Chain A
Amino acid sequence: MQAMTRRLELTNITKRYPGVIANDAITLGVSAGEIHAILGENGAGKSTLMKIIYGAVAADDGEIRFEGKPLGVHSPGHSRHLGIEMVYQHFSLFETVSVAQNIALCQDGRLELTALGDRIRQTAERYGLVVDPDKIVFDLSVGERQQVEILRCLLQKPKLLILDEPTSVLAPQAIDQLFEVLRALAKDGCSILYISHKLDEVRALCDSATVLRNGKVTGDVDPRQATSHELAVMMVGSDLPMTKMPKTTVSAEPVLRVKNLSAEPFGEKGRKLSDITLDVHAGEVVGIAGVSGNGQSELAVCLSGEALDPNSLIQLDGADIGHLPPDRRRKMGLAYVPEERLGRGAVPTHSLMQNAILTGYVRGLAHMGLVKKARARAFANATIDRYSVKTNGAGAQANSLSGGNLQKYILGRELSLEPRLLIAAQPTWGVDVGAASFVRQKIVDLSRNGAAVLIISEELDELLEICDRIHVLSNGRLSAAIPRGEATREKLGLNIGGATLHLPGSGEEPSDAAAH
């Protein structure tokens, strides 16, 4: 076994950036047909390492051997020629052209779309992918786009496929489907490097795992043997604190009251929202579970004030706010963390300090129409410190931060405003394990200090961990709340599927009693 040349071998790969060592003497090997996980938190150096293998970034030190032969300085083009393919976290597909044309762009030779279309259909069928070569990418869902990316790699008959956090954008069913494809591929002898920070996925899919922390290898393990806890300790370097949920007394009157809210679909893939009734009291965290696209964005924009409806009944501390725009609602104590961080949560090309002012004006970062720069900078720096945001300071542009880091900053910014009501969509999306548990604790603490919190999330485990009550939003309708003690994955999962979906009836909210 040992004598055999492995498909990929890295020896002492080192990459230094100004101020950080992204990869510090990393050594690992992958055999033919092996699914190998690179596990680590954001900033552990996973993506850099993959880019080095793929040739998009050059290592400062160390050796890469592919099928026994050393790879010197190589380009992505050279890698593809050798049979190394990579699926990026952010897709490299062009929206305005068809699937087949996108794939043709990555192939040599003339444009022969009909022949290519046939090959696409055959390969798709073989691995159980659903890809229509003639569709325009613009019309595809995120999951379908990923399938196109993977198929594009498969057509090159790769020997090594690198996937960078492939599930971060997928719905649960799509994840299962992806795993099937990857297993079939490995069976055909293709080696797979699977980058992730999600323990359960790595345990379900991978044959072996290399764990990285701060650019160093902290473990080489068989993820099927190791427990999640062991893996987490290797990743984070210490035991993860469990979120503390102190007992709470909730207010008699709800802080947020929504009654019979209906809304038209928002955006092209939107869902009509019908008859939503919801109360959130001070002192509690209420969760809304469900897969995105079931009315989640519609509900969020109605509550934040991006969509106005003078006729719907939305009350904040007893005052009607349905007709008020976002800034008026914020002045009344609402804080909101949208799902899209760039563009809605933060202005991509503005500095973190300027982004702090965007919502921090309600807490004195602006006065009489003038910006208080010193205060804004102090506020931004405090948020960066407290939420350990990795950045080179308050002057950094929002779009220079990694997704998880920006999310921490935006959440930190909103939490620092000490709002009366916090509404957060996908609060820990892309945030690494250690930071996520810190953020969750902060959210719980906010509620225990007398604020009302509403969390809209796709991650059931997260909701089960921090929510006092959980609703399910499915098909634009909201189920009755399930209190903390009774909520289980199974019960909520059934609700998401719509099997036991029963809607809040007239005037009753039985779960309130349970939360008291």
Chain B
Amino acid sequence: MDLFIAIFTGTMIAATPLLFAALGELIVEKSGVLNLGIEGMMLIGAAIAFWLSFNGYSLGIAFIGGALAGMITAGIFAVVALSLLANQYAAGLALAIFGSGVSAMIGTGFGSTPVETLRPIDIPVLSDIWLLGPLLFKFDVLVYLAIALVPATAWWLNHTKSGLVLRTVGESPQTAHAIGYNAIRIRYAAVLYGGAMAGLAGAYMSVAYTAIWVEGMTAGRGWIALSLVVFASWRPYRVLAGAILFGGMTILQLHGQILGLPLPSEVLSAAPYIAAIVVLVMISQNRSRMRLDVPASLAKPFRADG
């Protein structure tokens, strides 16, 4: 039973950075922009948050700082891709490489000193209930925030006018422009939000998940978040399902030997990517359904002409 609780809580914690990053990227892609640089933004967010914590700032400041750092990094991408109309694939890949370099540079002085970590909440009575306590009421606050973000994102996209505008900019910025919306400004806002979420995800990695600095510590989670968005066919609830699945894979990898799984851990690490490809092929089968979910102008540059 303890092992089950360990796997479950481990999965939820592993899923949390994926959720932040993927829900952020979902908003970015719904606006028609493809930012491949999540990994870079996460790393910079992780490094800045760790630096703040390392220098004695509170955890709250560290998380906010991490999110801001991710947002500023995304701002570079936004200027290059949205204002200067650079190819989004190239700009995003460059951002990923840039982020890993910058974060490594920031992290040179950290050594292997641990920092204070985010503690799980402790609600009297509730947290102590047998089984349910540790399963539901013993996470840190960001885990709950990440999960709450799922219905919030879905509701915002589908039930508010601003969400509707964002989706339509992702379908056709030309049309949105024609009826009087500033498509470029909306895309900027989406990219900055996505950056903040990626930065927060990175901050969670460095000051909550591990609490120790390791170069390249996100270890491909930015790429997993990216494939999660496709895996989820741009739907928030499926992002949750995917994040739990992929988070679970990570944890199973750790516990694989204890459990005596016959699979080598490399297969488990590759599984999320294979799953994303399988899902992509599956949703591509039904073209008309796909057209309703996929942002039609994804990764296409848009210039507002007079």
A57 touches B306 (CB 8 A): yes
B167 touches A268 (CB 8 A): no
B180 touches A95 (CB 8 A): no
B185 CB–A CB distance under 8 Å: no
Interface string of B261-289 (1 = CB under 8 A from A): 00000000000000000000000000010
Residues of B within 8 A of A101 (CB): 164
A111 touches B179 (CB 8 A): no
Which of A88, A94, A101 gathers the greatest number of chain B CB atoms within 10 Å? A94
A95 touches B171 (CB 8 A): yes
B210 CB–A CB distance under 8 Å: no
A93 touches B164 (CB 8 A): no
A96 touches B164 (CB 8 A): no
B135 CB–A CB distance under 8 Å: no
Would you list which residues of chain B between 170 and 190 have a CB under 8 Å from chain A?
Answer: 171-172, 175-176, 178-181
Report the separation of the CA atoms of residues A257 and B292 in the bound assembly, to the nearest whole angstrom: 42
The answer to whether A138 and B288 touch (CB under 8 A), given A92-B179, A93-B175, A94-B168, is: yes
Q: B178 touches which one: A58, A92, A104, A111 (CB < 8 A)?
A: A92
Residues of A within 8 A of B164 (CB): 97, 101, 104-105, 111
Report the separation of the CA atoms of residues A397 and B179 in the bound assembly, to the nearest whole angstrom: 26
Report the separation of the CA atoms of residues A136 and B168 in the bound assembly, to the nearest whole angstrom: 13
Q: A105 touches which one: B160, B179, B291 (CB < 8 A)?
A: B179
B296 CB–A CB distance under 8 Å: yes
B119 CB–A CB distance under 8 Å: no
Report the separation of the CA atoms of residues A57 and B178 in the bound assembly, to the nearest whole angstrom: 12
A233 CB–B CB distance under 8 Å: no
A96 touches B179 (CB 8 A): no
A154 to chain B, nearest CB (A): 16
B175 touches A111 (CB 8 A): no
Residues of A within 8 A of B160 (CB): 111
A62 CB–B CB distance under 8 Å: no
A105 touches B168 (CB 8 A): yes
A76 touches B291 (CB 8 A): no
B89 to chain A, nearest CB (A): 17
Closest to B159 in A: A111
B292 touches A138 (CB 8 A): yes
Report the separation of the CA atoms of residues A95 and B292 in the bound assembly, to the nearest whole angstrom: 8
B26 to chain A, nearest CB (A): 15
Would you list which residues of chain B between 197 and 249 have a CB under 8 Å from chain A?
Answer: none
Interface string of A14-52 (1 = CB under 8 A from B): 000000000000000000000000000000000000000
A70 CB–B CB distance under 8 Å: no
Report the separation of the CA atoms of residues A251 and B11 in the bound assembly, to the nearest whole angstrom: 78
Closest to B180 in A: A77
B149 CB–A CB distance under 8 Å: no
A247 CB–B CB distance under 8 Å: no
B262 to chain A, nearest CB (A): 44
B164 to chain A, nearest CB (A): 6
Would you list which residues of chain B between 143 and 177 have a CB under 8 Å from chain A?
Answer: 159-161, 164-165, 167-168, 171-172, 175-176
Residues of B within 8 A of A93 (CB): 175
A367 CB–B CB distance under 8 Å: no
Interface string of B45-69 (1 = CB under 8 A from A): 0000000000000000000000000
Interface of A is mostly: loop
Residues of B within 8 A of A319 (CB): none
Interface string of A54-68 (1 = CB under 8 A from B): 001110000000000
Q: A138 touches which one: B161, B167, B168, B291 (CB < 8 A)?
A: B291
The answer to whether A96 and B292 touch (CB under 8 A), given A105-B165, A111-B161, is: yes
The answer to whether A95 and B288 touch (CB under 8 A), given A77-B180, A111-B164, is: no
Report the separation of the CA atoms of residues A75 and B180 in the bound assembly, to the nearest whole angstrom: 9
A106 CB–B CB distance under 8 Å: yes
A294 to chain B, nearest CB (A): 22
The answer to whether A92 and B167 touch (CB under 8 A), given A77-B180, A110-B161, A138-B288, is: no
Q: B171 touches which one: A57, A94, A104 (CB < 8 A)?
A: A94
B165 touches A95 (CB 8 A): no
B167 touches A96 (CB 8 A): yes
B179 touches A106 (CB 8 A): yes
The answer to whether A96 and B291 touch (CB under 8 A), given A105-B164, A105-B165, is: yes
Closest to A51 in B: B306
A97 touches B167 (CB 8 A): yes
Report the separation of the CA atoms of residues A75 and B165 in the bound assembly, to the nearest whole angstrom: 20
Q: B175 touches which one: A57, A77, A94, A136 (CB < 8 A)?
A: A94
Q: A95 touches which one: B159, B181, B296, B306 (CB < 8 A)?
A: B296
A28 to chain B, nearest CB (A): 24
Report the separation of the CA atoms of residues A143 and B270 in the bound assembly, to the nearest whole angstrom: 49
The answer to whether A92 and B171 touch (CB under 8 A), given A104-B161, A111-B160, A138-B292, is: no
Report the separation of the CA atoms of residues A93 and B181 in the bound assembly, to the nearest whole angstrom: 13
A60 to chain B, nearest CB (A): 13
Residues of A within 8 A of B168 (CB): 94, 96-97, 105
Residues of A within 8 A of B167 (CB): 94, 96-97
Report the separation of the CA atoms of residues A104 and B296 in the bound assembly, to the nearest whole angstrom: 20
A168 to chain B, nearest CB (A): 18
B161 touches A96 (CB 8 A): no
Interface string of A70-105 (1 = CB under 8 A from B): 000001110010000000100011111100010011
Report the separation of the CA atoms of residues A76 and B164 in the bound assembly, to the nearest whole angstrom: 21
Report the separation of the CA atoms of residues A58 and B306 in the bound assembly, to the nearest whole angstrom: 9
Q: B291 touches which one: A80, A95, A106 (CB < 8 A)?
A: A95
Report the separation of the CA atoms of residues A111 and B159 in the bound assembly, to the nearest whole angstrom: 8
Residues of B within 8 A of A56 (CB): 178, 306
Would you list which residues of chain B between 104 and 135 have a CB under 8 Å from chain A?
Answer: none
Report the separation of the CA atoms of residues A316 and B18 in the bound assembly, to the nearest whole angstrom: 60
Q: B292 touches which one: A57, A76, A105, A136 (CB < 8 A)?
A: A136
Which of B159, B168, B172, B296 gathers the greatest number of chain A CB atoms within 10 Å? B168
30 contacts between A and B (CB under 8 A): A56-B306, A57-B306, A58-B306, A76-B179, A77-B180, A80-B180, A88-B178, A92-B175, A92-B179, A94-B167, A94-B168, A94-B171, A94-B175, A94-B176, A95-B171, A96-B167, A96-B168, A96-B291, A96-B296, A97-B168, A97-B171, A105-B164, A105-B168, A105-B181, A106-B179, A106-B180, A110-B161, A111-B161, A136-B292, A138-B291
Residues of A within 8 A of B (CB): 56-58, 75-77, 80, 88, 92-97, 101, 104-106, 110-111, 136, 138, 268
Known interface pairs A95-B296, A106-B179; 13 further A-B residue pairs with C-beta atoms within 8 A, sorted by A's residue number: A56-B306, A58-B306, A75-B180, A76-B180, A94-B172, A95-B171, A96-B168, A96-B171, A104-B161, A110-B161, A111-B159, A111-B164, A138-B288
Residues of B within 8 A of A (CB): 159-161, 164-165, 167-168, 171-172, 175-176, 178-181, 288, 291-292, 296, 306
The 6 closest A-B CB pairs, nearest first, are A111-B161, A94-B168, A92-B175, A92-B178, A77-B180, A94-B171
